Chains A and B, each alone.
Chain A
Amino acid sequence: SQQGEEDPQALSIQEGENATMNCSYKTSINNLQWYRQNSGRGLVHLILIRSNEREKHSGRLRVTLDTSKKSSSLLITASRAADTASYFCATDDGRDDKIIFGKGTRLHILP
């Protein structure tokens, strides 16, 4: 089934540095979404980028989408301890009314 795959699986960086994580997918999509999950909590929607968009910003978040490479990246600038979480990308397959989540990137911000 269609699935986004995040890379890397885990990432540790110093507070204040930028964090970049990537998502690759297999088939044409309508949109791609990024979610955050803090330990033991439900997922929280961060940003949605549509297939006709190339870049989108929200606060310290920047998402890019390259449909020719079937890939997306999430950049978190000036990381903070509170950014420690798992980050998931989610894609549709261009047909059905549901999205499929990847396995996530675990981000750890070191003090």
Chain B
Amino acid sequence: DAGITQSPRHKVTETGTPVTLRCHQTENHRYMYWYRQDPGHGLRLIHYSYGVKDTDKGEVSDGYSVSRSKTEDFLLTLESATSSQTSVYFCAISVTGLDEQYFGPGTRLTVT
């Protein structure tokens, strides 16, 4: 398995609080991605990074920000969590932007 971990694995938080999810890789891959997965919507891209300090928005970026200060870490921040952000969040990595992606185990986030 690709060396990719996510933390925390589960989190329950209250509406309005900030939340940061961490993705860590040991593969030195250039590209990193954050997705959310919801029933009926499949997997949707939130933000992605194509290098240190290089990030871009995905399909559902509103309410989320990201940072990548090191190759191995990609952080996803919910500045003020809302109930609509209750979801399972997956991080993925890839060598190039178009080749196979390797996924982390996911973080289940519940916003009450």
**17 intermolecular pairs with C-beta atoms under 8 Å apart:** A1-B59, A41-B105, A42-B90, A42-B92, A43-B92, A43-B101, A43-B103, A44-B103, A45-B100, A45-B101, A45-B102, A92-B97, A97-B50, A97-B98, A98-B58, A101-B35, A102-B42
* B43–A88 CB distance below 8 A: yes
Tell me whether B100 and A98 are in contact (CB under 8 A): no
Q: How many residues of B contact A (CB 8 A)?
A: 26
Q: Which size bracket describes the interface of A in this complex?
A: 20 to 34
CB atoms of B42 and A98 under 8 A apart:
no
B-chain residues with CB within 8 Å of residue A100 when the two chains form the complex: 45, 59
The answer to whether B99 and A48 have CB atoms under 8 Å apart is yes
Report A8-49 residues with CB < 8 Å from chain B CB: 30-31, 33, 40-45, 48
Task: Report B's interface with A, CB cutoff 8 A.
Answer: 31, 33, 35, 40-45, 48, 50, 58-59, 90, 92, 96-106
Q: Are A99 and B98 in contact (CB-based, < 8 A)?
A: yes
Partner of A30, one of B33, B98, B101: B98
A99 to chain B, nearest CB (A): 7
Cross-chain contact B43 with A96 (CB below 8 angstroms): no
